[in-house]
Amino acid sequence: MPLEEIRGSFRVFENSLRGSLQKVGFEHLQVGCDCASKYVQGTVAASYPLSKVGNGTSFFKIILQESENPCSKAGAVNTYMFGKLAEDCASVVHQGDIMVVAGFSVSKSTSEADGHCCRLEVSDEAGSTIYIKMKRKIKSRESTHQVCTRSSNTITGSETVAMSVAPSYTYTPLNLVKGGTIVNLYGAVKFFKPPYKCKGTDYCSVITIVDQSDAKLICSLFNVNRDALPQIYKNGDIVRFHRIKIKEFSGQLQGISSSGFAALTFDGTVGTPVVPRTSSKLFTFTDEDRKTIEDLRIWVASNLLNSAVAAKLSGIQPPMYFDLTCQLVGKAKLDGSSYLLKVWDGTKCPFLYWKVVVREDDFEGDSVLIHRLRNLTVDVVVYDNHVQLAKSLKVGSFIRLYSLHAKFQSPEDEPDVSYLQFHLHGGTTYGRGITSLPEGHADVEDLKKFLNSVDLMEDESSESPSEPENAYFTLGSCSEGCQQLSVTVLRDHQHFEVTALSTILNSRSPQPYRIRAKLRQFEPEKLHQSVKLHCPQCKLLQEVPDGSELDLILQEASATCPRPDLQNTSFCESVVWDTENQGQRRVVIHFVKHDELLQDPEDSLIMIEGGTLEEILKLSKKFKGIIPVRAMEDDLELLDLSAPFLWQGNIPHYGCKHCSNPKAIASLSPLAAQKDPLWEPTTIAQALGLVPLEYVFVMKFMLDDGTGTLNVYLMDCKDFFQIPASEVLTNNIFQENIERIMNKLCPSGTNLDDLPWLDCFIKSYYVTDGREQQICYRVFDTTIAEDV
């Protein structure tokens, strides 16, 4: 067998080996020596991850340290294993194991840093045999996570080698971090917001860490993938951040995830296994890391006061905010901005509590189980930003609700009775949020054990404070209006109180409000009339030219003749396209070169002289971007800014006539010289000295909340309808969607009573025509609910 484990006494084994083979010391290993009857013996000082060489053969490298002669200059030798032997060894070899290698060949080492002039090579094909005397039996395979393990007593030579593969990280104590640097940090979590979808494109997690230096650092971490953010479950967890950027904000240093950011998270409890939580497949983890974590754990135990309150349902003391670890047994949609989670933690809530009635069709969960648990489950209503995550939770899974609010509320028709309600309010303040706990998490295992021990029969027979007959009532009966559907979702500022329109009408100061009202009327009726072009700089609005206007603009601009001598400029390759049967009309296409070469059409920017709208639209299906140009004096230049400066897809992009300062087309050449030019409209506009206009929906809503009516403007690029205004004029599906939404918000011939509610943010502001000031209102941070 090419790989054998040595059982029993190593001395006995070695004696048996000496009958046929001769031991060779590391200092006698030389290229060209006859090793057929030799063996070497050493201790595994370090191992590297199993990898593959160019032809796909498996490759495994270890550093073998001469056990009996650790002071020798040639005390360590790199051993390279190939093929199946490499795979077999990689799965069993650990640092500290004693290894005997026979049937090896000796090659010249490729690096002086290897510490030995030679290296050993072994494989099944070469007839090699490796014997391993395990340092200890290891049941769990924690060490498979290790990219490289450095022995605590490695000699200098092998340490150098180890570090050249697995970088040695330096960790900055939190009191020594400086603005404008990128550092590696260790810290204990003092506060955290579980990952949530933020206003940008990513998920965000805000984490405050502390360490033995007593300094704290608030870190904002972003990632498009929720799972890539640190998996923190409670304060006191320990994090390791690599490549976090430090910058100053409001006079305070903060950390922010930058390119290459990576995190590991560990349970912060002394004595629990040191197992890193990460979604990354490859990371380093050394003995020093383990030591750092163990030291931090000890420090946490006596220095970090956990401000979060964790409670069982049996122990709550309302009103309070607390963290609840529980199992999800059912869930249901309530309306666009609220969602029901039915949960239990095996204990009984001692108060009369609120149960939410939902339509059977909207409910997901095992009704038989829920009936059996009826005296132990509680209904949690989650709002706003938490709805999306709540929807995605799996019934049966274990979850933690952070900063859950338990408070009493009396129904209007029963002022003498108060029921306990559980709300996970909107927003993320105080770390409000939900995490799904993974199977195997210690708290999940404990909860499972406890849930299995609960005697349901005993509970079912007992008198319950929340008998369904008298405790069930609908969302609506607790507070006027709260059950009625809102067709909008608030993207932020959920703590704002609702202001009546009558109050707003009587106020003259510019300020934001949260309102709840119905849409009586809106203008314009025709959707295409609502899309305008808006200059973010001078704020002017203008109409979007229609097809016939555009055609005319292009015809006028094409009146100048293409100049053949302006072709083939430094960054373009030009062709003349003779139009058939169209008299004198000639079209010149300039292909923008990248790195002296033409790109694939779908990545290419082209410029066109003398093309019609029809031709441009045809070409825009094939090329990344099209810039209409004309020849003027000695250079190519943009058309008059009445015409688009760019087509991308079938969308024309315009520049502001007032704010732009157009430059010669040659200004694009630095962009063309970039490694991978993306040809984004904003970068092209910037290079050409243009301020790009944005497409916006402009609508006027007449809102009514029963206390008054208010005209409110909507001016929005994409956030309100979740449909980009830039694409709506050229996309039938988007047009139909918006028409459907508007029809739901304000169906014609419907009484005000039957219209849906809109929760909105509006802000008041003044406009002046030079003589008179007028107060106006505008919608912001409001989105149409997904299910509308």
Strands 419-424 and 378-383: parallel
Under the criterion CB under 7 A, does residue 178 sit at the interface with DNA?
no
Binding map of DNA across residues 492-511, x = CB under 7 A, - = no contact: x-xxxx--------------
Query: Please, which residue, 247 or 508, has the CB nearer to DNA?
Result: 247
Query: Please, which residue, 224 or 457, has the CB nearer to DNA?
Result: 224
Number of residues counted as binding DNA (CB under 7 A) = 51
Under the criterion CB under 7 A, does residue 345 sit at the interface with DNA?
no
Q: Which range, of 68-76, 488-496, 529-537, 744-752, touches DNA by CB under 7 A?
A: 488-496
The 8-class DSSP code of residue 361 comes to G
Own/partner pairs, 53-62, CB within 8 angstroms, 24+ separation: 53/82, 57/82, 57/83, 57/86, 58/82, 58/83, 58/84, 58/86, 58/87, 58/90, 59/86, 60/86, 60/87, 60/89, 60/90, 60/93, 62/89, 62/93, 62/99
CA–CA distance, 532 with 544 (Å, rounded to integer)? 6
Coil, strand or helix at 448: helix
Report the residue from 50, 74, 147, 256 that binds DNA according to the rule CB under 7 A: 256
Q: Which range, of 244-252, 525-533, 620-628, 675-683, touches DNA by CB under 7 A?
A: 244-252
Query: Please, which residue, 433 or 644, has the CB nearer to DNA?
Result: 433
Report the residue from 199, 394, 622, 700 that binds DNA according to the rule CB under 7 A: 199
Under the criterion CB under 7 A, does residue 408 sit at the interface with DNA?
no
Binding map of DNA across residues 448-487, x = CB under 7 A, - = no contact: ---------------------------x---x--x-----
Query: Please, which residue, 76 or 387, has the CB nearer to DNA?
Result: 387
Nearest to 98 by CA among 30, 14, 166: 14
Report the residue from 56, 200, 583, 770 that binds DNA according to the rule CB under 7 A: 200
Under the criterion CB under 7 A, does residue 719 sit at the interface with DNA?
no
Report the residue from 28, 135, 247, 740 that binds DNA according to the rule CB under 7 A: 247
Report the residue from 75, 187, 427, 562 that binds DNA according to the rule CB under 7 A: 427
CA–CA distance, 478 with 418 (Å, rounded to integer)? 10
Under the criterion CB under 7 A, does residue 432 sit at the interface with DNA?
yes
Q: Which range, of 26-34, 138-146, 245-253, 466-474, touches DNA by CB under 7 A?
A: 245-253
Under the criterion CB under 7 A, does residue 734 sit at the interface with DNA?
no
Nearest to 264 by CA among 246, 285, 247: 285
Report the residue from 101, 206, 434, 629 that binds DNA according to the rule CB under 7 A: 206
CA–CA distance, 729 with 654 (Å, rounded to integer)? 15
Q: Name every residue whose Cβ is closer than 8 Å to that of residue 264 and which is 6 or more positions away in sequence.
A: 230, 239, 240, 276, 277, 278, 283, 285
Query: Please, which residue, 283 or 496, has the CB nearer to DNA?
Result: 496
CB 6 within 8 A of CB 129: no
Under the criterion CB under 7 A, does residue 181 sit at the interface with DNA?
no
Under the criterion CB under 7 A, does residue 705 sit at the interface with DNA?
no
Distance of closest approach, residue 465 Cβ to DNA, in angstroms: 22
Nearest to 114 by CA among 52, 51, 163, 42: 163
Distance of closest approach, residue 726 Cβ to DNA, in angstroms: 17
DSSP per residue over 643-706, as a string? S-SEEETTEEE-B-TTT-----GGGGHHHHTSSS----HHHHHHHTT--B-EEEEEEEEEEE-S
Under the criterion CB under 7 A, does residue 195 sit at the interface with DNA?
no
CB 699 within 8 A of CB 530: yes
Residues of the shown chain interacting with DNA in the complex, contacts defined by CB under 7 A: 190-191, 193, 198-202, 204, 206, 208, 216, 218, 220, 222, 224, 247, 249-250, 252, 254, 256, 307, 319, 321, 337-338, 383-384, 403, 405, 407, 423, 425-432, 475, 479, 482, 490, 492, 494-497, 759
